Amino acid sequence: MLSDYGKGGLAHIETMISMARAAGVAVVVDPKGDDYHRYRGADIVTPNLKEFVLAGGDDASEERIETSAYELVQRFDLGAVLVTRSEKGMTLFTRENQRIHSPALAREVFDVSGAGDTVAAVVGVGLAAGLEIETVLELANRAAGQVVGKFGTAVVDLAGISSKGAPEK
């Protein structure tokens, strides 16, 4: 799980991704900026809608979001792009042209600080645990819902995101 804050801490992210891939470790990136060449080969990149557009995505319509997400996946050799879309939930677009949408859970939003990091972290942990991607997305949505429902940065309560039970597969 790599969170790029654009502060230089991931100056060698290409090498990190390459080493992780060689070791068989999934790479999830919470991106910053428009230079997605840096994330080439990552398994999942998790931009919010604004970051997605900055990287070359098009949010003019659902169809344009989908088309441009697949274009980003191909152009940067990504496994998938997971676009977080606030009240519209999150949508995963994979290299295999699979689209998986996970609707947002209705709740009051107080502060979005840390929501993107939360999604990326839960996705990384879920993949590492071998969970089905639909389950991973649902858990990420629950965790993000917890975080935005509090003021300031927040810690996710694991019992709170898993107590409703993961969807059966």
Give the residue with greater pLDDT, 149 vs 80: 80
33 pLDDT exceeds 50?
Answer: yes
Tens digit of pLDDT for each residue in 103-138?
A: 887 566 654 556 778 889 889 999 999 999 999 999
Q: Of 58, 77, 117, 157, which one is the catalytic site residue?
A: 117
Label residue 23 by pLDDT band (50, 70, 90): very high
Residue 168 confidence (pLDDT): 39
Residue 142 confidence (pLDDT): 85
Residue 169 confidence (pLDDT): 38
Q: How many angstroms separate the CA atoms of 49 and 69, rounded?
A: 11
CA distances to 165, 167, 169 from 46, in Å: 24, 22, 24
The answer to whether 26 touches 41, Cβ cutoff 8 Å, is no
Residue 141 confidence (pLDDT): 87
**Catalytic site residue 117?**
yes
Q: How many angstroms separate the CA atoms of 118 and 127, rounded?
A: 14
- The structure's pTM equals 0.84
Instruction: Fill in the DSSP letter of residue 115.
Output: H
As a whole-number percent, the residues of the chain with pLDDT over 90 amount to 53
> Of the given ranges (134-138, 139-143, 149-153, 164-168), which has the lowest mean pLDDT?
164-168
Helix (H, G, I), strand (E, B) or coil at 149: coil
Identify the CA nearest to 6 among candidates 32, 29, 27, 35.
32
Complete DSSP assignment for 3-50? E--SSSTTTTHHHHHHHHHHTT---EEE--SS-GGGGTT-SEE--BHH
Label residue 18 by pLDDT band (50, 70, 90): very high
User: Stretch 19-23: mean pLDDT, rounded?
Assistant: 94
Name all domains of the chain by residue range, CATH numbers in brackets: 2-162 (3.40.1190.20)
